[in-house]
Amino acid sequence: MDPKELPSILRDDKISVETNKLISSLLSRTDSQGQKLCKYQGCWYYYNTLQGVLNFQSGFQPQDTDIILASYPKSGTTWLKALTVALLERSKNHSYSSDDEHPLLYDNPHGIVPCLEMDVYHESSSPNLAKFSAPRRKFSTHMPLHAMEETLKHSPCKIVGILESLFESFCNGTIYYGPFWEHLLSYWRASLEEPKHVLFMRYEELKAEPRHQIKRLAEFFGCPFTKQEEESGVVDKILDLCSLRNLSSLEVNKTGSRNDVDHKDYFRKGEVGDSKNYLTPEMEYKIDMIIQEKLQGSGLKF
């Protein structure tokens, strides 16, 4: 495939001379698609993504009211972004009808809540953040927490932490943003140490108890549902608006693209346990054993 046809995050055409020098000193691998990965601060990145990480680390100035949605790729990011937008838009008294001016009806969730290293800082360490100023800045990231720790250490901003590659790459940790277990543990430990600033959510719990989990998320953001909102059905309206069924049916999510990925491709089944349709019992067992070993003693269980 022509490198120019690859998604921008897989390419190496936006790296600086300094980053290129850094990469030459890092451990590197080639993934199953033939694309180059390098290991920086314990995490594997494609070269263009690493440039975004470095730009973020050197240029991001956190604000106390910032919300950062941190997730491993393909773990419910789109849904979490939509829920966050809907929760923070409640003060505008949306009707949730088709003629409403709700931002989710006119833009993809990834357009409203951009990824720090892929969208905001992918080309510069000093992007214009003015358009994210009101009422609260909302960003996402796939970086493990230790990649942001130095940058965020003086800010009490809110962080919400929530497999798609070849099996062996996942198991040995040499996968994009991997190792998977280190990513999880970084946010899990932070949620125990600073529960007011880091909320750890499991996709399975969000699917099983959506009403309870969305209330938990609202309380964490400092905007709990009022009794009047609950009685008028606002919780259910938000869940309906943000359901994958509804979001995938919106025209804005049937067309357009972001980071060379079609909007429609952000919406998959979203079913817990769907891995059984792709992994053999032996593969599932191996993953379970690896995760059990890596999480042992942490208190985190799945």
Annotate 106-171 with DSSP letters as a single string.
Answer: TS-HHHHS-BIIIIISSS-SS---GGG-SS--EEEE-S-GGGTHHHHTT---EEEE---S-HHHHH
Separation between Cα atoms, residue 103 and residue 112, nearest integer Å: 8
* Residues involved in catalysis: 142
Q: Identify the residue whose tokens are 């050197």.
A: 58
Strands of the 138-141 sheet, one edge to the other: 138-141, 67-70, 158-161, 198-200
Alpha helices in the chain (DSSP H): 17-24, 47-59, 77-88, 109-112, 149-152, 167-172, 180-193, 203-208, 210-220, 227-231, 234-241, 244-249, 251-254, 281-295
pLDDT at 164: 41
Q: Which residues pair with 200 in a beta bridge?
A: 161
Q: Are 271 and 18 in contact, with CB atoms under 8 Å apart?
A: no
DSSP assigned state of 202: -
What's the pLDDT score for residue 163? 41
Secondary structure class of 209 (helix, strand, coil): coil
Tokens of 205: 């719990």
pLDDT tens over the chain, length 302 residues? 556 667 787 788 889 999 999 999 999 998 877 889 999 999 999 999 999 999 999 999 999 999 999 998 878 899 999 999 999 988 777 766 665 788 999 899 999 999 999 999 999 999 999 888 667 899 999 998 888 888 887 777 887 865 444 678 888 888 889 899 999 999 999 999 999 999 999 988 998 999 999 999 999 999 999 999 999 999 999 999 999 899 999 998 988 877 777 787 777 665 666 666 667 888 889 989 999 999 999 999 87
pLDDT at position 272, please? 60
Residue 63 in tokens: 């604000």
Q: With the CA atoms of 260, 60, 107 and 8 taken in that order, what torsion angle do they form, in degrees rounded to the nearest 10?
A: 0
CA 188 – CA 183 distance, rounded (Å): 9
Phi-psi label, residue 76: left if phi above 0, alpha if psi -120 to 50, beta otherwise: left
Say how far apart CA 69 and CA 148 lie, in whole Å: 12
What is the DSSP secondary structure assignment for residue 255, as one 8-state letter?
Answer: S
